[in-house]
Structure 1
Amino acid sequence: MSSADKTPDTNKSVTMAVDIPGMISVIIFYIAIFAVGIWAGRKSAKSTTALEAFLANRDMGLVVSLFTLTATLVGGAFINGTAEIIATSGMLWTVAPVGYCIGMFIGGMVYAPKMRRAGYVTMFDPFQEVYGVRVGALMCIPQFMGDVFWTAAVLSALGSTISIIMDVNNTLSIVISAVIAIVYTFLGGLWSVAYTDVVQLICIGVGLVIACPFAVHSPAVDFSTLSSDWVGQVACADIGRYLDLFALVCLGGIPWQVYFQRILACRNARNARLASCVAAILCLAFAIPPAIIGMAGKAADWNSTAYPGPLPLSPDDYSLILPLVLKYLCPRAVAIIGIGTLSAAVMSSADSSILSSATVFSNNIYKNAIRQKASDRELVWVLRTGVVVVGVFSTLIAISVRSTYGLYVMCSDLMYVVLFPQFTSVLFIEGTNPYGGLSGFFISLLLRILGGEPLVRLPALIRYPFYDEEFGQGFPFRTMAMLSGFLAIVVLSRLTHVAYHRGWLSPRFDFLGFFSRTESPKLHGMEGFGENNDKTAASPDTLEEEMGDLPEGIHDEVKVKSNGDHAEPLLTETGAIHNKIA
């Protein structure tokens, strides 16, 4: 009898007693993670500076940077989501792991060195440098939303995993996991998060690698039944949707503070580039075990297992395919080890996102927009308060959420459509100004909202070509919205610049005060944008550290100019080196 013919056994209760050995395993791993977090936090306890809490005093070595960058992406949503989509839609539709890894590689080669050389504190410093404090603060909103949804996604995945294997209420497991992550992040800042990431990444690798052979060789698994289903297919009507989704996860994974927090904590730009590129390869490698486990779950005859629920598996059940395989297709000891390592590892993404939003609020909202003269001690406590607020809010959302993969992909939606064109413009397009930035922000946001979103039951007010009542837009409307915003930024920035400087636009219409701040010819272009133009000459030692990736031929020129009475290389308040070397 096939699994499709099996009906629910009304005499078999799906409610089981609490799994004591599994519970002990989780407790042991939680204690280990908590202990590492507290121990690492003592590195920053000796210092009360905000830079120590935000960026580990920019003293993060290559190995720790590599581990923490990898662990930031490889969390519960990454693992569970990969297994789920492999089982339901096939390899071709499992675009998130591949796309995010490509995005991390692009980030490492293009964006990371420029950001690290500039010495920014957060990824929103260049926004406020170019757009000014107020408009730059507006750009933080998509980041806050993305961090909260991402944290909720990984906590939800953890709760579902523990509830399946140990028959423990998932709300309880979510709350306990969140509390542990909040406490050690509260106490230790980035040092605690980074060192726990090292332990968590080792845990998740060991747990999944051990489980794979047992899942594949389970008597209930017959891969011959898969045929070509595991590959999946992209129908002609789905090509636009597929390309849109792939572009979203590739480019939408770049403008994340959680990523740049680690980049900016690296000792130099060379380490930042290397750590990001190698981490991208490791992330792709970490997607292989859950993909194998997902295929094993798809090929399993669940009738021959002890699974007590109704068959065939429902879509909701497939969202939990990884913990189901661990429990019903693997030996008892392997399942216990697997859940222990996964439950500890999933916090590697949650704590990172919590710290990310708290850092942005402390530096770019509180310090830059509210209290410019805030002391380091005050900023540290604002950071800690932010950690608690973001953690609690994310936990509340996680308790009410079921779908892991939907949240996983949605995390990059706002970042791709709204923030990616903004971030690229302020970094690389000279002449970008806040009027173009605001126009691009609202145009891309409006087009994205009007396109609808079935995952959150948002109706499509604009039905593009290839629209489907069940699946929504078939046209790559997210990419269109992103490109429209990009075009608006460039065109409106240029138009307002020309209109103002040719006298077509009265100074009284400069309501953001941008052009009045950049009147000096020396300040036109990227150097003069923003409100923080106070500069002090860089010391030779500072320049030596920041020049790590400059071409060798200009090192001597920079050093000579820095030793003169009128040094050319200058540091902004964020530490950005501005020089006239082309």
Structure 2
Amino acid sequence: MINVGGIISIVLFYVLILFVGIWAARKKEAGNDSEEEVMLAGRSIGLFVGIFTMTATWVGGGYINGTAEAIYTQGLVWCQAPFGYSLSLVFGGIFFANKMRQQGYITMLDPLQDAFGERMGGLLFLPALCGEVFWAAGILAALGATIAVIIDMEQNTSVILSACIAVFYTLFGGLYAVAYTDVIQLFCIFVGLWMCIPFAWANPKVQSLGSMEVDWIGSVSSQEIWSYLDYGLLLIFGGIPWQVYFQRVLSSKTAGRAQVLSYVAAVGCILMAIPPVLIGAIAKATAWNETDYTGPYPFTSKQTSMILPMVLQYLTPDFVSFFGLGAVSAAVMSSADSSILSASSMFARNVYKLIFRQRASEMEIIWVMRVGIGVVGVLSTVMALTVPSIYGLWSMCSDLVYVILFPQLLMVVHFKDYCNTYGSLCAYIIAFVVRISGGEEFLGLPALIRFPGYDEANNRQLFPFRTMAMLTSLVTLVGVSYATQVAFVTGRLAPGYDVFRCVVNIPDDVERVGPDPAEGEQMAVLASGAVRLYGSKDESNGRVNPALEPDYDMDPDCGITGAAGAGANDLIGAGGGGGAGSLQLGPRQPHSSTAF
């Protein structure tokens, strides 16, 4: 029987979120539908809202449900997500936030397309897109199951309703709506879960957490150490190359504030993990066969994945569990809206505009993004309702983000002069093959390669093959880039074979345009409807003949057209004849939009 009180509470909560989202949408400057205004809230997110929305990067439905489940099934030592994602924010702030924000990028893929060409950037968009869509689908499915547990509402109805509300306010408000609803949502998570803990802890069916019979700490066996480190590194460094994170970084007013927000949000992630950790420990100390729970016991994987809503349902009074349900709903929507906006922003800018429609107007891009929001929302909802192993799909995609995107983003942000499109493509393929060869138990993919220490009994890899795949990808990127640079610049390969046009066969219509030194952090708009190319003017020195700079004009198809006589060798400083000059791996020349 449907719990009417629960229905009323969830409807009131959704109305509140919808109201805040619509109100936030009105903060968008009237008549300003530029990419920066919609995708990045005009780079005007304040400190208070910025802290909340940056924390919400990872604190969502999967975060709180997964934390409680990890505590119940394996113990605190195996609950790596809070610490891993907190460290990912710290390292992101140290190594990426400042440089990315200084360059004035709009999405995470901008520096990748700047370095490797628009089409290679489009290929790198695939793992990022899949990760965002599967993440949104997974948390929507978790919300449906949660509502079904607590108020006995039909699961499909709750999933569709939640998705529609998240899509609606994101559609009209962009990042403004996402950021301001994050404030309400995180507040609801914190208050809702903390309200439930005293009631659940005081339940007579719950033993003392200090009892010797209750092991909620867990342990790591000697044979699992390398696998444990592999997952830890995956969370830390694989948690950086996500558009949901850089969406917040790039929306900050200054580069310094982007760093501060990352550090504060890292602390916020730890603090927000405390309630689900306690709920997981309480569940571990509960004699479930003495409660009103009537399902299978010991729990199957289906029940353990819902351990947090089960604690709310069976160990707290109804009115308290409704507050907890609001917390779970808030957590889910704070993640779903961000992922939907991130995926659609990357598609509109980095695929539609930079690959297919370089002359597209700002308004056209915004409408493509809005259509993308609807498509991603529908796709995530359909997957949440139909795909049985969404977590397995997301797990695989998060691995691909780690092994493919992290090494490439690291190189283009810090060592751009030592990589090119050939290295990027080879690294992409190698990383994908090595990761797939390790198998994926959640998807039933068999291990094509059984690395050392393979656990035959449980059919799982204990070797840190994900990190190995990431390092292999990094080495391949640098190695192939260096080899192709040597081959072309020394003349061992004719310039005509430089099919990606990134070493010696560089078009003479490329120039890197940077920000006005007086502004420092804002990229200059070159021409209406034209493609933006990024990079600082300081970095341009030595790559483009300063004497030629005043003679460059905007070409809508490729970027900037050089003056007559400005050949590829004028740009890269190589000797005459298209490649017989001295070997110089860096500084490397940026690509035109015709590169791979």
1:401 CA displacement: 4.7
SS of alignment partner, residue 157 of structure 1: helix
Q: Which residue of 2 aligns with 1:489?
A: 477
How many angstroms apart in 2 are the aligned matches of 1:216 and 1:401? Answer: 35
| More moved, 128-137 vs 221-230 | 221-230
Is 1:22 paired with 2:6?
yes
Q: Which residue of 1 aligns with 2:435?
A: 448
Q: Which residue of 1 aligns with 2:574?
A: none
Q: Which residue of 2 aligns with 1:533?
A: 511
Q: Which residue of 2 aligns with 1:578?
A: 537
How many angstroms apart in 1 are the aligned matches of 2:50 and 2:111? Answer: 22
How many angstroms apart in 2 are the aligned matches of 1:323 and 1:204? Answer: 13
Is the contact between residue 291 and residue 314 of structure 2 (CA under 8 Å) also seen in structure 1?
Answer: yes
Is 1:326 paired with 2:326?
no
Is the contact between residue 392 and residue 440 of structure 2 (CA under 8 Å) also seen in structure 1?
Answer: no
1:36 CA displacement: 0.7
How many angstroms apart in 1 are the aligned matches of 2:87 and 2:463? Answer: 23
Q: Which residue of 2 aligns with 1:194?
A: 179
Is the contact between residue 55 and residue 261 of structure 1 (CA under 8 Å) also seen in structure 2?
Answer: yes
How many angstroms apart in 2 are the aligned matches of 1:210 and 1:274? Answer: 30
Is the contact between residue 124 and residue 360 of structure 1 (CA under 8 Å) also seen in structure 2?
Answer: yes
Residues 271-292 of structure 1, C-alpha deviation per residue, up to 9 Å, x if partnerless? 1000011001101111110010
How many angstroms apart in 1 are the aligned matches of 2:187 and 2:380? Answer: 25
Q: 1:153 to 1:90 in 2, by over 3 A?
A: same
- Selected match of 1:369 from 341, 355, 371: 355
1:72 CA displacement: 2.3
Q: Which residue of 2 aligns with 1:507?
A: 495
RMSD of aligned residue pairs (Cα, Å): 2.1
Residues 321-378 of structure 1, C-alpha deviation per residue, up to 9 Å, x if partnerless? 1000001101221101111232133100000000001000111111111111111111
Q: 1:517 to 1:226 in 2, by over 3 A?
A: farther
Corresponding letter in the other structure for 1:384: R
Is 1:127 paired with 2:115?
no
Q: Which residue of 1 aligns with 2:549?
A: none
How many angstroms apart in 1 are the aligned matches of 2:33 and 2:135? Answer: 29
Is the contact between residue 534 and residue 573 of structure 1 (CA under 8 Å) also seen in structure 2?
Answer: no
Is the contact between residue 196 and residue 321 of structure 2 (CA under 8 Å) also seen in structure 1?
Answer: yes
> Pairwise mapping of residues 143-542 of structure 1 onto structure 2 (< 5 A)?
143-223=128-208, 225=211, 227=213, 229-401=215-387, 409-429=395-415, 430-469=417-456, 470-516=458-504, 518=506, 533=511, 535=513, 538-539=515-516, 541-542=518-519
Q: Which residue of 1 aligns with 2:90?
A: 105
Corresponding letter in the other structure for 1:533: E
Q: How many residues align?
A: 531
1:408 CA displacement: 6.2
Corresponding letter in the other structure for 2:493: L
How many angstroms apart in 2 are the aligned matches of 1:426 and 1:534? Answer: 15
How many angstroms apart in 2 are the aligned matches of 1:71 and 1:468? Answer: 36
- Selected match of 2:79 from 73, 77, 94: 94
1:546 CA displacement: 5.7
Residues 501-552 of structure 1, C-alpha deviation per residue, up to 9 Å, x if partnerless? 11111112111111246588xxxxxxxxxx863537x545423x569xxxxx
Corresponding letter in the other structure for 1:44: K
Q: Which residue of 2 aligns with 1:558?
A: none
Corresponding letter in the other structure for 1:542: E
Is the contact between residue 258 and residue 353 of structure 1 (CA under 8 Å) also seen in structure 2?
Answer: yes
Q: 1:309 to 1:203 in 2, by over 3 A?
A: same
Q: 1:519 to 1:41 in 2, by over 3 A?
A: closer
Q: Which residue of 1 aligns with 2:562?
A: none
How many angstroms apart in 1 are the aligned matches of 2:418 and 2:461? Answer: 35
Residues 172-207 of structure 1, C-alpha deviation per residue, up to 9 Å, x if partnerless? 111110111011111111111111111111110110
How many angstroms apart in 2 are the aligned matches of 1:293 and 1:408? Answer: 25
SS of alignment partner, residue 297 of structure 1: helix
SS of alignment partner, residue 165 of structure 1: helix
Corresponding letter in the other structure for 2:460: G
How many angstroms apart in 1 are the aligned matches of 2:8 and 2:436? Answer: 46
1:119 CA displacement: 0.4
Q: 1:360 to 1:460 in 2, by over 3 A?
A: same
Q: Which residue of 2 aligns with 1:37?
A: 21
Is the contact between residue 441 and residue 460 of structure 2 (CA under 8 Å) also seen in structure 1?
Answer: yes
Corresponding letter in the other structure for 2:535: A
Long gaps (5+) in structure 1: 1-16, 521-530, 548-561, 563-571
Corresponding letter in the other structure for 1:463: R
Query: Larger % of helix: which?
Result: 1
1:157 CA displacement: 1.4
Long gaps (5+) in structure 2: 525-530, 543-596
Corresponding letter in the other structure for 2:335: S
Is the contact between residue 140 and residue 336 of structure 2 (CA under 8 Å) also seen in structure 1?
Answer: yes
Corresponding letter in the other structure for 2:449: I
Is 1:49 paired with 2:26?
no
Q: 1:147 to 1:186 in 2, by over 3 A?
A: same
1:225 CA displacement: 5.0
| More moved, 394-403 vs 161-170 | 394-403
Q: 1:226 to 1:212 in 2, by over 3 A?
A: farther
Corresponding letter in the other structure for 2:357: R
Is the contact between residue 26 and residue 344 of structure 1 (CA under 8 Å) also seen in structure 2?
Answer: no
1:577 CA displacement: 2.3
SS of alignment partner, residue 468 of structure 1: coil
Corresponding letter in the other structure for 2:511: N
Is the contact between residue 117 and residue 421 of structure 2 (CA under 8 Å) also seen in structure 1?
Answer: yes
1:114 CA displacement: 0.5
1:31 CA displacement: 0.5
SS of alignment partner, residue 443 of structure 1: helix
